[in-house]
Amino acid sequence: MPFVNIKVTQGGVTADQKQELIKGVTQLLVDVLGKDPRTTFVVIDEVDTDNWGIGGQSVTELRKQGT
């Protein structure tokens, strides 16, 4: 009965890519820990680049600076 939360920055993640993430991480938990996929939940959060910081700066700022 695992629960997986994946946080990524918002922008251009397609429904197909989300489906691939859900399928891939569920299979990983089957392969590594023998978990039952029927009770494996995955929740994807897409976070605005203004709201995600690394190294003390927002991703919006970092992208403007080309880093």
- Which residues of the chain form contacts with a second copy (CB under 8 A)? 1-9, 13, 15, 17-29, 31-33, 35, 37-47, 50-61
The distance of closest approach from Cβ of residue 14 to a second copy in the complex, given in angstroms and rounded to an integer, is: 9
3-state secondary structure labels for all residues of 3-49: EEEEEEECCCCCHHHHHHHHHHHHHHHHHHHCCCHHHCEEEEEEECH
Q: What is the smallest separation between the CB atom of 61 and a second copy, expressed in angstroms?
A: 7
Query: How far is it, in rounded angstroms, from Cα 51 to Cα 64?
Result: 15
- Exactly one of 2, 10, 18, 61 is catalytic; name it: 2
Whether 37 is a known active-site residue: answer no
For residue 11, the minimal CB distance to a second copy (Å) is 10
Catalytic residues, by residue number, are 2
